[in-house]
Amino acid sequence: MATVKPFKAIRPDAKYADKVISLPYDVMNRKEAAEMAADDPYSFLHICRAEIDLPEQENAYDQSVYEKARDNIAERLASGVFVQEDKPALYIYRQIMDGRVQTGIVGCVAVDEYQNNTIKKHEFTRVEKEKDRINHFDVCDADTEPVFLTYRDDKRIRTIMEGYVANHEPEYDITSDDGIQHTLWVVDDPELVKSLTGLFDEIPALYIADGHHRSASACKVGLKRREEHPDYTGDEEFNFFMAVIFPDNDLKIFDYNRVVKDLNGSTSEEFLDKIREAGFDVEEKGSDIYYPEGKHIFAMFLDGKWYKLTARDSIIPDHVTESLDVAVLQNSLLHPILGIEDPRTDKRIDFVGGIRGLEELEKRVNDDMEVAFAVYPVDVDDLLRVADNNMVMPPKSTWFEPKLGSGLFLHSLK
């Protein structure tokens, strides 16, 4: 069953919260991070992307980057920008985006449950990205950004959250630069904390929605600390890592679309013929943007026109992951026709989160690409089903919005 543990969060003093909050570290490059934080000395980007406070260097993963992040945390604690709770607490965290509300619990989850798959995964991780966050968490002596988890909705947990929100003032209620409202309540009443942790103890599994690299890295830091402290009891903070846990019914997954640099030697007409031969019905839709209407239907932008591609039943396998639209597109079109064998490493393909809209696909094709594909979004049930079967989704299957705000809570490993 799922362990959810209260912790003494390090977090911004309320008067600084709107200045500290930032987007997560992995949704921008160094230049973009530097521009975002240029006029804001309090921005959490000075911690999660501390390289912006150092002279530009070839190695973005130099030890000095992590030491600068550690020093920036210490400076903010010393100056009162950050404070640490006197006693362990859970937190209710609400985000509102375009009128859609998701409300979850912030707490710590167990390294052992990541290991034994009580915390379920649906993606592979990359070693170099893991190493970056391992070094970051280890040198900072803290989980600096939370993992985004979900669980199958439980009315009892929802009732407690809704009741608490209705009867208590929030610690923060701010709107970030991207228009997302972030509201945080501190739950430090021991009996209420006990009730919530007891209910999570009845939840059979938690699922990583977003943050596979952060969770893998946090787990490995915990295991490293165990090696360094062979007399550990299991209660130390390094045995746990920080997460925001939302019920599945609150979540929305956006499409994650593809753009490809060339037609692999084909003319446009040859390419369209090959798509038909591969098992798709092709319908020209004209110059107006066309949005896929459902599963196994794709939108394609080519030569200034949109096309509707409908996968025939003959190319849709009866398989948990291979029947996902991103897999059908990869296995029946991108690989055999365009020669994209491994989308994680091939330089001819790029990915565009659906939050940018299909206008971004047109822009990319008119700029530096030849063809674009819009995919109907994966739903949360797909994600849970894949994870329950101990499988992984194809690369770049899910794009969650809103992104968690970074900087509102840190978990000390001491």
Q: Would you state the pLDDT for residue 127?
A: 85
For residue 234, count other CB atoms closer than 10 A to its CB: 10
Per-residue pLDDT tens for 309-334?
999 999 999 999 999 999 999 999 99
Is 253's pLDDT higher than 90? yes
Is 57's pLDDT higher than 90? no
Q: Would you state the pLDDT for residue 396?
A: 87
Q: Would you state the pLDDT for residue 369?
A: 98
Q: Would you state the pLDDT for residue 280?
A: 98
Per-residue pLDDT tens for 297-308?
999 999 999 999
- Calculate the average pLDDT of the chain: 95
> Quick one: residue 82, left, alpha or beta (phi over 0 = left, psi -120 to 50 = alpha)?
beta
Q: Would you state the pLDDT for residue 318?
A: 94
Q: Would you state the pLDDT for residue 395?
A: 84
Is 61's pLDDT higher than 90? no
Q: What's the whole-number mean pLDDT along residues 268-295?
A: 97
For the chain, domain boundaries: 10-252+401-412, 256-376
> Quick one: residue 303, left, alpha or beta (phi over 0 = left, psi -120 to 50 = alpha)?
left
Please name the residues in contact with 162: beta carbons below 8 A apart, sequence gap of 6 or more: 103
Q: What's the whole-number mean pLDDT along residues 391-400?
A: 90
> Would you identify the CATH topology of the domain 256-376?
3.30.1760
- pTM of the shown model: 0.91
Q: What's the whole-number mean pLDDT along residues 367-390?
A: 95
